[in-house]
Amino acid sequence: MTATTYVPRPAEAASADLSRTGRRGRRDDTRPGLAFLAPFLILYVLFVIGPALYGLVMSFFDTSLVKSGLGTFAGFSNYAEAFKSSDFWSSMWHTVWFTILTTPPLVILSFIFAVLAERATHGKWFFRLAFFAPYILPSATMALIWIWLYTPGLGLASAVVQKLGITSPQWLGDPNWAMWSIAAATVWWTLGFNFVLYLAGLQEIPRELYESSSLDGATPWQQMRSITIPLLSRTTTLVIVLQVIALLKVFDQMYIMTSGGPNFSTRPALEYIYDIGFTDYRVGYGAAASTVYFVLLLIVSAIWFIQTRRAERST
Amino acid sequence: MNDQRDPIPSTLSRRGFLGGALALGLGAGALSACSTPVGAGLAGSTLDPGTVQYWNLFGGGDGVRMQAMEAGFEKSHPKIGLSSVTLAWGNPYYTKLSLATLGAKPPDVAVSHLTRMKTLQAADLLAELHPADLARHGMTADKFNQKAWKTALVNGKIFAIPLDTHPFVCFYNTEVCKKAGLLDSSGKLKPLTGEQAFMDALTKAKRVTGQYGATIAVINETATPWRIFQSLYSQLGGTPVLSDKGTRITIDDAKALKVLTFFAKLNSSNLMPGSLDYQGAIATFAAGRAGFYFEGEWEITTFQTAKTPFSMTKFPNVYGGPNGYAVQADSHTLVLPKRSGRSKEELDNSLTFIRSLLDQSATWAAGGHVPAWLPYRNSKAYAKLTPQSNYASAADAAVYDPNAWYSGSGSDFEIIVGGTIGAVMSGISSPQAGLNQIKQKLTVLAKTQPPT
């Protein structure tokens, strides 16, 4: 019997080690690491960083979508127009209002459902599936489902309301109701993600805490208040941050369900930028508006970042 | 004992296998590239060279008719394939058409409103149509409605083939109007000239129905208030609201105020209240609770389906006098988006398709539109088609939206102006406040550097 084993030839091994040994004498994985990152980095620079910088340059010109080149120099006039434009500010307000409407339900309801789903003894998989399934739908599918539900007269929403004896409002056609309707649809749609985050957080809470507290005579409500919610504070913070940032970027639901209507009453900031930049061909001004929007989002994120850092340092 | 480092006794390593599979996959992909959409997109070749790609914005009843006409083309020209896409009406359609053309992947033929086609042409997105090519397919200038044809020309060059004109018209309930004594001996509506005659007719109709004299879409609707305003304002001889490609606002204040005051009176006297939205106005007229309904002619199918006893005629010549009849209208046209490398065969296929649609004008006219194709328009068959042929002469008195980059059917101009007029029609704004707001909002757009 012959046993052949692979033994790296000493010279080979030594040279291999030498070529990858940095000054500190440890294996330096920087170059292979960069090589692995290269495909992503190249695409990222080409399709994200590059256009963002081009957009920044474009915002100082009256660039038109249908004319080649940057167009006439406009200085800060695009930014001045954005700041003076009531349409721009109302679209910003619509985005903020939408975020205010949807964040509390998305945080609180997902927490409640996660707690309930965690307690289910039979068919846990079914409840997890039921709450998470809407999240995997593409936005167009979700919008179509809810357009059907909100159809005046024929839709399920109107039918249910009418059975209760109230005249059904025009869910998507009434400026007073449109944003609420879209918010309800969005809560149904994106609740699943927070639900999963809370499930994971709940499972990390040690059982012994509940057992020992019930031995000490704590009621379920006291357990919830003193054990569950405080121990989920990190998850809650994560959920809120992710939610707010995602909601501030809303576009799909409004574009598909109401086209920003009725009378632009649901048009979010991103759709205003789309209407100006693509429909009206004014990409220069659209770039300026989107830069202003970006800076505002950056400020919100920065404030949040500082807050959480401060909170973490104090705990 | 086996060699544990190389258990497969072959020369093919795992990396070799993966590399070979990748090469095979790429090769197969390259071979079949031109026939798949993704491959064609990457290779920059045309998908299905023998097919006409056609985009339109016709939904509802118009959509059904257009599909019938497409089927007619496929039957008569089985060798030319047709791939048709319908997109949502208004800004979404024109945005997609513009971006597709800019991305060098436009459809071969596209529908465009005449008023929007001007903006597309100013943005250099349309291919010029040469009379020689058109004549090869029998489409000469004299065969089209002259008003639509001449309006579609840009500096004498042809960029669009008019399919129809769709004017603003008057629907009237024949039973209600008969009881109100508004019909003449042949059962047609007597002409209503002057504000007083108009209001009298509505009053009589309201007495019969007990509810509405006339209904019109105002709430959550911006196009209809603009259309009725433009019709009456043009009958007064008002100058175009915008001039010089939208850089100047040349609205005649006195005439505009006269029309807006009339609207306020119609609302406050409850003869034509501004309290209904688009569907509400239709439903009320269809149920026989109004004597008159004012809208574009395309709603004819709705009332035919609802079996309302109705007829149609030109929108009343309230202010126009004998030579001053005018009515707001737009036309659907067919355009060829600009594309480099369009072969003669592709051009001929596209023009054959357009000619086929024109030849089926009978189907299209049944949906209420006034055909622009004169061979059908002047035929006996069309004259017999009532009530569609009742208002055919409105196409010659058509007033199109002013030419500007922000104007046209479904544009920001219509939304801004129509929205403000709607507020006056429903009593939310006073006529003077409405006029001020129109001028103020349009000034912002007029001062903006045009992107085209």
Q: What is the pLDDT of residues A93-108, one digit of tens each?
A: 999 999 999 999 999 9
Cα B39 versus chain centre, distance: 34
Give the amino acid at A6. Y
Chain B residues with CB inside 8 Å of A7's CB?
Answer: none
Answer for the pair A59, A78: CB distance below 8 angstroms, yes or no. Answer: yes
Q: Which residues span the domain enclosing B160?
A: 51-166+330-395
Q: Which of B91, B96, B121, B441 to mutate to test the interface with A (most CBs of A within 10 A)?
A: B91
Is B96 in the same domain as B188? no
Is B186 in the same domain as B134? no
- Please indicate if any CB of chain A lies within 8 Å of the CB of B99: yes
Is B143 in the same domain as B179? no
Cα separation of A268 and A248, whole Å? 9
In a domain, A193, yes or no: yes
From A3, A4, A64, residue closest to B452, measured CB to CB: A64
Kindly give the confidence (pLDDT) of every residue in chain B, 452 residues in length, as a single tens digit, with 9 standing for 90 and above: 444 555 555 677 888 888 888 888 887 766 665 556 666 666 666 666 688 999 999 987 889 899 999 999 999 999 999 999 999 888 899 999 999 999 988 999 999 999 999 999 999 999 999 999 999 999 999 999 999 999 999 999 999 999 999 999 999 999 999 999 999 988 889 999 999 999 999 999 999 999 889 999 998 888 999 999 999 999 999 899 999 888 999 999 999 999 999 999 999 999 998 888 888 899 899 999 999 999 999 889 889 989 999 999 999 999 987 778 999 999 999 999 999 888 999 999 999 999 999 999 999 999 999 999 999 999 999 999 988 999 999 999 999 999 999 988 888 899 889 989 999 998 888 999 999 999 999 998 898 888 87
Chain A residues with CB inside 8 Å of B452's CB?
Answer: 64, 66-67, 281
Answer for the pair B222, B415: CB distance below 8 angstroms, yes or no. Answer: yes
Mean pLDDT, chain A, integer: 87
SS3 A263: coil
CATH number, domain containing residue B269: 3.40.190.10
In a domain, A54, yes or no: no
**Strand B51-56 relative to strand B81-86, pairing:** parallel
Is B421 in the same domain as B335? no
Cα separation of B16 and B22, whole Å? 10
In a domain, A164, yes or no: no
| Gap between the terminal Cα atoms of chain A | 66
Task: Find, in chain A, the residue whose alpha carbon is nearest to that of B451.
Answer: A64
At a CB cut-off of 8 Å and minimum separation 6, what does B142 contact? B374
Task: Find, in chain B, the residue whose alpha carbon is nearest to that of A3.
Answer: B1
Alpha helix positions (H), B2-110: 14-32, 37-43, 60-76, 91-102
Residues 177-216 of B with CB under 8 A from A: none
From B5, B92, B451, residue closest to A6, measured CB to CB: B5
From A66, A170, A261, residue closest to B124, measured CB to CB: A66
In a domain, B95, yes or no: yes
Closest by CA to B357, choosing from B71, B9, B45, B8, is B71
Chain B residues with CB inside 8 Å of A74's CB?
Answer: 449
Reported as a single tens digit per residue, the pLDDT across A192-221 is 999 999 999 999 999 898 899 989 888 888
In a domain, A76, yes or no: no
In a domain, A52, yes or no: no
Cα separation of A223 and A215, whole Å? 11
Token pair 């085209």 is at which residue? Answer: B452
In a domain, B111, yes or no: yes
Is B377 in the same domain as B310? no
| Gap between the terminal Cα atoms of chain B | 79
- State the smallest CA–CA distance between residue A302 and chain B in angstroms: 34
In a domain, A250, yes or no: yes
In a domain, B1, yes or no: no
- State the smallest CA–CA distance between residue A255 and chain B in angstroms: 10
Chain A residues with CB inside 8 Å of B448's CB?
Answer: 81, 282
CATH number, domain containing residue A188: 1.10.3720.10
Q: Which residues span the domain enclosing A116?
A: 84-139+175-314
Asked if the Cβ–Cβ distance from B95 to A278 is below 8 Å, we say yes
In a domain, A206, yes or no: yes
Is B276 in the same domain as B178? yes
Integer Rg of chain A from CA: 27
Q: How many domains does chain B have?
A: 2
- State the smallest CA–CA distance between residue A4 and chain B in angstroms: 6
From B123, B220, B412, residue closest to A263, measured CB to CB: B220
Query: Which run of H or E residues covers position A157?
Result: helix A156-163
Chain A residues with CB inside 8 Å of B220's CB?
Answer: 173, 175, 261-263
- State the smallest CA–CA distance between residue B98 and chain A in angstroms: 8
At a CB cut-off of 8 Å and minimum separation 6, what does A75 contact? A60
In a domain, B16, yes or no: no
Give the amino acid at B45. S
Burial of residue B179 (CB within 10 Å: 0-12, 13-18, 19+) is middle
Cβ atoms within 10 Å of B53's Cβ, excluding its own: 22
Q: How many domains does chain A have?
A: 1
Cα separation of A31 and B287, whole Å? 77
Task: Find, in chain B, the residue whose alpha carbon is nearest to that of A85.
Answer: B444
Token pair 């490398």 is at which residue? Answer: B341
Answer for the pair A304, A103: CB distance below 8 angstroms, yes or no. Answer: no
Picking from B378, B395, B412, the residue at the C-terminal end of a domain is B395
Give the amino acid at B238. G
Is B242 in the same domain as B308? yes
**Strand B370-371 relative to strand B161-173, pairing:** antiparallel
SS3 B307: coil
Give the amino acid at A181. S
* Angstrom distances, CA of residue A14 to CA of A21, A23, A27, A29: 10, 16, 12, 17
In a domain, A8, yes or no: no
Is B196 in the same domain as B153? no
Cα separation of B389 and B352, whole Å? 27
Chain A residues with CB inside 8 Å of B3's CB?
Answer: 4-6
Is B173 in the same domain as B232? yes
Interface of A with B (CB under 8 A): 1-6, 62, 64-67, 72, 74, 81, 152, 170, 173, 175, 259, 261-263, 275, 278-282
In a domain, B42, yes or no: no
Cβ atoms within 10 Å of A310's Cβ, excluding its own: 9
From A5, A62, A262, residue closest to B449, measured CB to CB: A62
Asked if the Cβ–Cβ distance from A278 to B5 is below 8 Å, we say no
Check the CA dihedral B356-B362-B365-B367 and report its sign. negative
Is B316 in the same domain as B352? no
Average confidence (pLDDT) over A254-271: 88
Is B183 in the same domain as B82? no
SS3 B212: strand
Q: Which 8-state DSSP code applies to residue B336?
A: -
SS3 B165: strand
Is B244 in the same domain as B138? no
Per 3-state DSSP, chain B is made up of helix, strand and coil in percentages (nearest 5) of 50, 15, 35
CA dihedral B128, B133, B134, B137 (to 10 degrees): -150
